[in-house]
Structure 1
Amino acid sequence: MIAAAEAAIDASAKDDQERARNRARLYAPPKGYGRPATAGERPARTGMSLDEVQAMMASVAAEDAQLNGGRNG
């Protein structure tokens, strides 16, 4: 789909410079993506805590046991 969009944009461009500007806008990363951290700033927390992981594993094991009806393998 990007190739079709690029072809349509290229067809509507008046010159090579406009094509280059359009292509740069098309393939530019989203605004705010990859913003460098400032000095002393901690990165945003991602992932799960150990307690959250253990709770998720327990719920998955319980669901698995329920679906398998106590069967193993």
Structure 2
Amino acid sequence: MLSAAEAAMDQAAEDDAERQRNRARLYAPPPGTRREARRRPAQGVSLAQAQSLMAQVAAEDARFNGGRTG
């Protein structure tokens, strides 16, 4: 379906520059998608949160193993 729209737009274009602008508009992402991507909060955990979690796991592991390692 896009190729048919592209062909129709190419036929109506007066020069190559207009054809390029038409293709850019045709294949551009929907409005607002770029802005939304920047506004999305960071996902995952920070370095400090990861280190805290690792310390908690190590403490739990030490309690489970009675202080033995390996």
TM-score norm. by structure 1 comes to 0.50
Which residue identity does 1:42 align to in structure 2? P
Which residue identity does 2:4 align to in structure 1? A
Q: Percent identity?
A: 60
CA shift for structure 1 position 9: 0.3
Unaligned runs of 5+ in 2: 43-70
SS of corresponding position for 2:31: coil
2:19 is aligned to 19
SS of corresponding position for 1:34: helix
Q: Which has the larger radius of gyration?
A: 2
TM-score norm. by structure 2 comes to 0.52
What is the CA–CA distance in structure 1 between the aligned matches of 2:41 and 2:23, rounded to whole Å?
34
2:3 is aligned to 3
Which residue identity does 1:27 align to in structure 2? Y
Q: Give the total of aligned pairs.
A: 40
CA shift for structure 1 position 32: 0.6
Kindly report the root-mean-square deviation, in angstroms, between the aligned alpha carbons of the 2 structures.
Answer: 1.7
Give CA-to-partner distance per residue, 1:3-57, whole Å, 9 cap, x none: 00000000000000000000000000011103212xxx736xxxxxxxxxxxxxx
Structure 1 runs of 4+ aligned residues shifted over 2 Å read: none
Unaligned runs of 5+ in 1: 44-73
Structure whose residues are more often helix by fraction:
2
